[in-house]
Structure 1
Amino acid sequence: MNHLTIVDHPLVQHKLSVMRRTSTPSNQFRQLLREISHLLAYEVTRDLPMTTVAIDTPVCPMDAPMLDGKKLALVSILRAGNGLLDGVLELIPSARVGFVGLYRDEETLQPVQYYFKVPEGMDERVVIAVDPMLATGNSSVAAIDLLKKAGATNIKFLCLLAAPEGVARMKEAHPDVQIVTASLDEKLDEKGYIVPGLGDAGDRMFGTK
């Protein structure tokens, strides 16, 4: 599946297993999510455009590799996306930041929009949308729809867990969007939760349930 990258690094998998435990408290859950986001960020930014710049080292001049083009845009799909956003921002503090506010109607499982704010010049930026869970894919597809309407053409999707149903839905709607995740789980249950999953990421991050 060329559109899907699973980061199977041992540190990622170990930290994810601790996050899955019911007994893991919210403060530890948030810290682990931040740590994993650092590791996932390396993979999702692997092919950022590069150029060379003439610099002087203490020994001699050289043509050194540097990032090229406009600063990338990180877009958090609220609210749980902020857990990944904070970690990625620590590695790329110059990135521009946007937010997409969506919640899932528990009866229809369809996304409902309540907020949208992104940087200017989206058509000139690499855009990384972040959300811990790719479950049904409905909210993720809706978020990508909005980003494309705002002009984004080079979009990646970063998540902690994905379900096969969500991956298929995203591929059908946005085959040009690369998905980077720590795990492709087994399935969705009858309520649309990822199995085995880790529960509701937002509730576990913020201790709201």
Structure 2
Amino acid sequence: MDSTFRVPRHALLRAKLTLIRRRETDSATFRRVLAEMGAILTAEILRDLPEAMAGIETPVGPMDAPVLAAPEPCLVAVLRAGLGLLEGARMVLPDAPVGHLGLVRDEATLQASEYVVRLPRDLAQRGALVLDPMLATGGSAIQAIARVKQAGATSVRFACVVAAPEGVRALQAAHPDVPILSAALDERLNEHGYIVPGLGDAGDRCFGTD
């Protein structure tokens, strides 16, 4: 892995990941904790956004204070499971435009196909943070980021909860300019393309489906 991939040293993030990894964690708890992780990951991956100084008035007096030098990035959720991270990301950036990319993976070929694309119009000015809990084979992430770039985004970041080495390498090869943040780097993919040890199907566990 090169410098575009990072796993933060964050005790809260690791503890929350352990909770959603547990087989016995119910759907409501999974969804809540996934949102909490989305907030932490969003704050972490955007920690180096460019800043400027602006004059403000506090209740006590004037000061020069840091503000963002550019508009907040758009938040783009890869459906369905990305909605869980999006809920937390919007707590951090409540005014950011939101996009949705619907991708479904063929369980035989492991390739992703689109079923919905709804992206903000100002991606070129804002850039994007793409959210998807799982980076397994990398196919969905690669396709989602390509779509966001096609829509005009020149600055793109990707955040996930669990990544497999195979997916990280594939995403880095396809989009070497995109920073990747994950709460964990797991061991490998199994023969069905699932991350080991992973946490199962994030969409099913988030929304209580089989």
TM-score by length of 1: 0.97
- What does residue 96 of structure 1 align with? 97
- What does residue 126 of structure 1 align with? 127
- What does residue 16 of structure 2 align with? 15
Please give the alpha-carbon distance, in whole angstroms, between the structure 2 residues aligned to 1:31 and 1:97: 20
Deviation of residue 191 (structure 1)?
0.2
- What does residue 53 of structure 2 align with? 52
Deviation of residue 69 (structure 1)?
1.6
Deviation of residue 124 (structure 1)?
1.4
The residue type paired with residue 74 of structure 1 is L
- What does residue 75 of structure 1 align with? 76
Please give the alpha-carbon distance, in whole angstroms, between the structure 1 residues aligned to 2:88 and 2:39: 6
The residue type paired with residue 193 of structure 2 is G
Please give the alpha-carbon distance, in whole angstroms, between the structure 2 residues aligned to 1:17 and 1:137: 23
- What does residue 135 of structure 1 align with? 136
Query: After TM superposition, which residue ranges in structure 1, 4 or more long, deviate above 3 angstroms?
Result: none
What is the Cα-based RMSD across aligned positions, in Å? 0.9
SS in 2 for 1:83: helix
Deviation of residue 42 (structure 1)?
1.7
The residue type paired with residue 142 of structure 1 is Q
The alignment covers a number of residue pairs equal to 209
Structure 1 runs not aligned, ≥5 long = none
Please give the alpha-carbon distance, in whole angstroms, between the structure 1 residues aligned to 2:9 and 2:164: 16
Correspondence 1:28-43 to 2 at 5 A: 28-43=29-44
Deviation of residue 147 (structure 1)?
0.8
Q: Percent same amino acid among aligned pairs?
A: 50
1:28-76 CA distance string (max 9 Å, x none): 1111111111211221111112111111122221111111222320000
Deviation of residue 86 (structure 1)?
0.6
- What does residue 190 of structure 2 align with? 189
Please give the alpha-carbon distance, in whole angstroms, between the structure 1 residues aligned to 2:200 and 2:18: 13
Deviation of residue 126 (structure 1)?
2.8
SS in 1 for 2:100: strand
Correspondence 1:126-165 to 2 at 5 A: 126-165=127-166
- What does residue 207 of structure 2 align with? 206
Deviation of residue 82 (structure 1)?
0.3
Query: Is contact 2:72–2:93 with CA below 8 Å preserved after alignment?
Result: no
TM-score by length of 2: 0.97
1:93-145 CA distance string (max 9 Å, x none): 01010011101011100011111111112111131000000000011101111
Please give the alpha-carbon distance, in whole angstroms, between the structure 2 residues aligned to 1:161 and 1:49: 27
Please give the alpha-carbon distance, in whole angstroms, between the structure 2 residues aligned to 1:166 and 1:10: 24
Structure 2 runs not aligned, ≥5 long = none
Query: Is contact 1:123–1:152 with CA below 8 Å preserved after alignment?
Result: yes
Query: Is contact 1:8–1:183 with CA below 8 Å preserved after alignment?
Result: no
